[in-house]
Chain A
Amino acid sequence: MLKINDLHVSVENTAILKGVNLEVKAGEVHAIMGLNGAGKSTLANTIAGRDDYTVTSGTVDFFGKNIFDLEPHERVGEGLFLGFQYPVEIPGVSNLNFLRTALNSIRKYRGQDDMSAADFMKLIRAKADQLGMAPDMLKRFVNVGFSGGEKKRNEMVQMAVLDPKFAILDETDSGLDIDALKTVAAGINAQRRDDTAILLITHYQRLLNYVQPDVVHVMIGGKIVKSGGKELAAELEEKGYAEVA
């Protein structure tokens, strides 16, 4: 599904990613853990196509295509989703309008007709309900005035509605209370299928108790320095990065 080969990325002429290798197959859940500033978000944003990150070498293959040949919105059409560490506030654009435009843009990319307003409302109400988002928040401007936890929940509602094949969730578990964490974990598990894959970026073992990863990677200094099973996360929590990696 996604294959990263020796990826080097710099920001403003500073090398951040220094040779990342990673392969995620359909049906798998991978977790990346690592110190602050290790380059985890840089990796996520590079895959999504943020233009202030410069790819200096390496390849990312997404469903057999060179991902860098695709515009950011085209990557989404191919099935990508990025849950942001810091979701953006967009005054004046309602959540509903935003998601409906997004969904229909993706459908258009795939040669499908627009979803009718009635079907869309049914879909989004169901997903918001599953993820414990109050219906009136759908009418509010995107993330404006949302609490940290509400923003993360909103990211999950977006993922559920857009139903991506490959989702990268950048610290979606940070800032969530215990109940919200369980709801979000349930949302992630619902997205976990034979034909989908998920890449979790997290600092905490506690999410991985609810969403059991197939593989755990440790990123330090712009590289994946160690990979293992879910027990690696527990080991990191116990001993810290210095000793494990």
Chain B
Amino acid sequence: MTKQLIEAYASQAESLHGILAGMDDVRTSAMSSFLEQGFPGTKNEEWRYSDMRAFHKKHFELVSGKSGIAIPEPLGDYCARFVFINGRYDEESSDIGQVWKDISIRPLANHFMANESRVDELIKGSDSVSLLNTALMRDGLVLSIPSNVGIGRPIEILHVMDGSDNAAAHVRHVIELGEGSSVSIIERFVGDDSAYWTNSVLQARITENAKLRHIRVQEEGANALHTAKAYVNLGGGSEYICTNVALGGAMSRFDANVRILMDGAQATVNGVALAATGQSHDMHTHVSHLSGNAVSEQVFRTIADSRGTTSFQGKVTVAEDAQRTLANQSFKALIFDKTAQANAKPELEILADDVKCSHGATVGQLDDKAIFYLTSRGIDPETARQMLVSAFVAEALEKVDFDDVKTSLMGRIASWMLERNADKGTGG
């Protein structure tokens, strides 16, 4: 990193001192770890598919204020909606509904104020973007679901950016589920056309027999950079079900870091990524089976159009005493032509002996025979392609349990296909 960049980030962290109680030392140490390693370069194996060039060139800084960008419609019925504009909670456009009667909702600042030792529970991370998030976080939600409380409709957390070309938002959400509780979170990211950066971290602790559904919809503005991480710890018999949908931004990367700490947990991390011309979406998972009798499932479906890139690196580790582990991973990619790219790198590290693991990765094109079969029944080629694409991604969206949300997502995928057809102007 250049000296200028180093100084700029260091002074950003300093300027935040005193803003979140008890955080100053954490910021300082995260920042110095960040400065030691800088942003990853192309030689870094973990980051080889993420185009990080922009980060080496310019300095992204926190912005304040908002310019009155339109807030999009929700994806579906919700029980509460929290809106963050340029990384700051916006009370005016949020709708907290009635859910506060059942669960505890606090802004990040109050969380630490109530008890400074909670800073210890913050996940600092070890990669550069997590470290920066730790050093520069200003806002976020802390949701605590009491034991045995079940929340039916999802909570939508909407992130809106209307910054400028070097605006950044480092948001941190903390989710804690008491024993036997359940909640669904939709994290959504939208923004204008500037080349801003969203850097989000969500950390969740799912205790015994609790269940977290986590739907992520990355539909950032066309020039945005998006890096995000989910750190999830699973207790006995608990469940985490994540569906990540990436279709916006110029470059996006999502890392799911899931640790199965106690017996009998279930972890599902699914994903869909659609990369149009020049876009790249990178998805990483690390599911770590530290305890046995647990099941992990991963289903990823990606599509890349001309000069688009999708990548998947999926790692499963099974510790020595994590016996009777079941781990499945399936990655399928469609590429629309020779300039489109799909990268897949499955990685298994198994130390236990009583384990069933499977993984598969395929890259292919839309089946011409299937398109002809559909058109030979009167279906026009655009619709035929759309049907095949919807069928292709369906398995990865299977765990989205809310019909209205699923319909919204399928609608986005259908319009993405329409835009592809329109771009080509071929009508087929």
The chain A residues found within 8 Å of chain B, CB to CB, are 48-51, 71-73, 76-77, 82, 84, 87-88, 90-93, 97-99, 101-103, 105-106, 109, 141-142, 158, 162
Contacts and interface: CB of A to CB of B under 8 A. Distances in A.
B378 A90 contact: no
B380 A105 contact: yes
Contact of A90 (B374, B375, B380, B428): B374
B200 to A, nearest CB: 31
Nearest to A50: B372
B378 to A, nearest CB: 4
Contact of A72 (B372, B391, B394, B395): B372
B333 to A, nearest CB: 15
Given A88-B369, A88-B370, A90-B370, A72 B375 contact: yes
Contacts of B387: 93, 97-98, 101
Given A73-B380, A73-B381, A105-B383, A91 B391 contact: yes
Nearest to A77: B378
A87 B376 CA distance: 11
A92 B373 contact: no
B391 A73 contact: no
Given A92-B390, A93-B388, A93-B391, A106 B376 contact: no
A172 to B, nearest CB: 14
Contacts of B383: 101, 105
A48 B376 contact: yes
Given A98-B387, A162-B378, 10 more contacts: A49-B376, A71-B380, A73-B378, A76-B376, A88-B372, A92-B392, A92-B394, A98-B377, A102-B374, A102-B378
Interface in B366-405: 367, 369-370, 372-381, 383, 387-388, 390-392, 394-395
Nearest to A51: B372
Nearest to A141: B391
Contacts of A99: 377
B377 A90 contact: no
Contacts of A141: 391
A87 to B, nearest CB: 7
A226 to B, nearest CB: 29
A178 B370 CA distance: 30
Nearest to A86: B369
Interface residues of B, number: 22
Contacts of B388: 90, 92-93
A81 B383 CA distance: 19
Q: Which of B375, B383, B392 has the most CB of A within 10 A?
A: B375
A71 B371 CA distance: 13
Given A92-B390, A92-B392, A93-B387, A73 B370 contact: no
Contacts of A142: 373
A72 B392 contact: no
A102 B377 contact: yes
Q: Which of B367, B377, B390, B392 has the most CB of A within 10 A?
A: B377
Contact of B379 (A48, A50, A87, A101): A101
A158 B373 CA distance: 12
Contacts of A109: 378
A141 B378 CA distance: 18
Contact of B377 (A71, A91, A158): A158
Given A92-B390, A92-B394, A93-B388, A73 B373 contact: no
A103 B374 CA distance: 11
A106 B378 contact: yes
Contact of B373 (A51, A84, A101, A105): A84
Contacts of B392: 92
B376 A92 contact: no
Contacts of B381: 71, 73
A42 to B, nearest CB: 14
Contacts of B390: 92
A109 B380 CA distance: 10
B197 to A, nearest CB: 36
Given A92-B391, A93-B388, A101-B383, A76 B378 contact: yes
Nearest to B392: A92
A103 B381 CA distance: 15
A48 B392 CA distance: 26
B378 A105 contact: yes
A112 to B, nearest CB: 12
A101 B387 CA distance: 10
Given A50-B372, A72-B372, A92 B377 contact: no
Nearest to B427: A71
A51 B395 CA distance: 31
Interface in B122-172: none
A71 B370 contact: no
A98 B374 contact: yes
22 contacts: A49-B376, A71-B428, A72-B372, A73-B378, A76-B375, A84-B376, A87-B373, A90-B370, A90-B391, A92-B388, A92-B392, A98-B374, A99-B377, A101-B379, A102-B374, A102-B379, A105-B379, A105-B380, A105-B383, A106-B378, A158-B377, A162-B378
B395 A73 contact: no
